[in-house]
Amino acid sequence: MIPLAWMLGLSAIVFVIGVVGVLVRRNALIIFMSIELMLNAANLAFVAFAREAKSLDGQIFVFFVMTVAAAEVAVGLAIIVNVFRLKETVYVDEINLLKG
Amino acid sequence: MTPALFIAFGAMLVIASLMVILHRNPVTSALFLVVAFCSLAAIYLLLHAEFLAMVQVIVYAGAIMVLFLFVVMYLNLKHDVEHGIHLALRRGAGWILGGVLLSEALWFFGRHWAAGPLAPEEAMATAGNTEAIGRVLYTRYLFPFEITSMLLLVAMVGAVVIAKGRGPHVERGRPPQGASGAPAAPADRQETA
């Protein structure tokens, strides 16, 4: 039996790694991967609480989160490809079209 | 046995996630992300969420990562070249903020969680986790499940429309930025006709 605190701690660590990735890196693809890491950390917390509560609802919710993540990746990568065609870079600090 | 496995896979998950954000080469980052997803699937198995473990491997490590790798190779990215005081400043700020957030979250999660009297569903304990999930998904969560299909359809159409670009003139040479709106419409019409 794994304690709940361990799973939540692991989830927090992975989530913070994702946050740091978004803050530190400037490659849009790596930022997307960091967002995936954060979503997965949230999923881990959901599963942990679902096991603790002996309920399946948390696992169902993880299923929906995965669907949303898949949709998000498809649209986001399409946007990145389009931006690359336009600006020939994926570095977010060189994409300043809206800066004025 | 189970705690030892949890620690092993948890360490693997943390190290792989760190390599994702630390490695210079995007392809290597994507491959480490696959490792992270697979170790998370193993953790799901340890938590008796067998269905989610399989979906994790198929959807994340399979479909999503193939999409990522495809885009990385399509864009043909070089190694990141990062230098300058701005970058150092931002990197330091990012790590400090991350450290603050981590200590906050660990403090919060380390507190004692009051587990109230919850209705025990015996379906969790049995071996057939997939069967129980399917039963709940097609009864209580039927409507969200159907909405999910709509979401996927919209995302698919949106991705195709966005990635297609405005028309053939995009590849040939970029028009001046102000004039991009006017010639785009006839070109599109011609293409579809």
A55-87 pLDDT, tens digit each: 888 899 999 999 999 999 999 999 988 888 888
Q: Is residue B71 part of a domain?
A: yes
Q: Is residue B180 part of a domain?
A: no
pLDDT tens, residue by residue, A14-27: 999 999 999 888 88
Mean pLDDT of B66-78: 85
- Residues in B touching A13 (Cβ below 8 Å): 14, 102
Residue carrying the six token digits 């939540």: A8
Q: Is residue B119 part of a domain?
A: no
User: What pLDDT does A47 receive?
Assistant: 92
**Cβ contact, residue pair A63, B67, below 8 Å:** no
User: What pLDDT does A100 receive?
Assistant: 65
**Cβ contact, residue pair A12, B120, below 8 Å:** no
User: What pLDDT does B85 receive?
Assistant: 67
- CATH number of the domain bearing residue B67: 1.20.120.1200
CB neighbour list of residue A3: distance below 8 Å, 6 or more residues apart: none
- Residues in B touching A26 (Cβ below 8 Å): 80, 82, 87
Closest residue by Cα to residue B20 from A74, A6, B12:
B12
Same domain, B73 and B134: no
Rounded Cα distance between B133 and A61, Å, is 11
* Residue A10, CA distances (Å) to A3, A13, B109, B134, B136 in order: 11, 5, 10, 28, 28
Average pLDDT of chain B?
A: 79
User: What pLDDT does B108 receive?
Assistant: 78
User: What pLDDT does B174 receive?
Assistant: 52
What percent of chain A has a predicted confidence (pLDDT) above 90? 51
ipTM of the complex: 0.91
**Cβ contact, residue pair B123, A56, below 8 Å:** yes
Mean pLDDT of A28-40: 93
Q: Is residue B88 part of a domain?
A: no
Q: Is residue B15 part of a domain?
A: yes
Record the tokens describing residue B106, joined without a space: 């660990």
Same domain, B70 and B7: yes
Does residue B79 register a pLDDT over 50?
Answer: yes
Q: 10 Å Cβ neighbour count for B132?
A: 18
Q: Which chain B residue has the Cα nearest residue A8?
A: B109
User: What pLDDT does B187 receive?
Assistant: 45
Does residue B7 register a pLDDT over 60?
Answer: yes
pLDDT tens, residue by residue, A40-58: 999 999 999 888 888 888 8
- Band (pLDDT 50/70/90 cuts) for residue B107 is confident
Task: Count CB pairs under 8 A between chains A and B.
Answer: 220
Rounded Cα distance between A79 and A82, Å, is 5
User: What pLDDT does A95 receive?
Assistant: 79
Rounded Cα distance between A56 and B132, Å, is 8
Which domains occur in chain A, in start order?
A: 26-87 (1.10.287.3510)
- Residues in A touching B60 (Cβ below 8 Å): 36, 40, 66, 69
Mean pLDDT of B21-36: 91
Q: Is A21 on the interface with B (CB under 8 A)?
A: yes
Residue ranges making up the domain that contains B161: 129-165
- Residues in A touching B162 (Cβ below 8 Å): 75, 78-79, 82
User: What pLDDT does B92 receive?
Assistant: 84
Mean pLDDT of B129-142: 89
- Band (pLDDT 50/70/90 cuts) for residue B40 is very high
User: What is the model's pTM?
Assistant: 0.81
Q: How many domains does chain B have?
A: 2
Rounded Cα distance between A76 and B144, Å, is 23
* Residue B184, CA distances (Å) to A80, B160, B169, B176 in order: 21, 18, 8, 12
How far away is chain A from the Cα of B64, in angstroms, using its nearest Cα? 7
Mean pLDDT of B113-139: 68
User: What pLDDT does B182 receive?
Assistant: 46
User: What pLDDT does B82 receive?
Assistant: 61
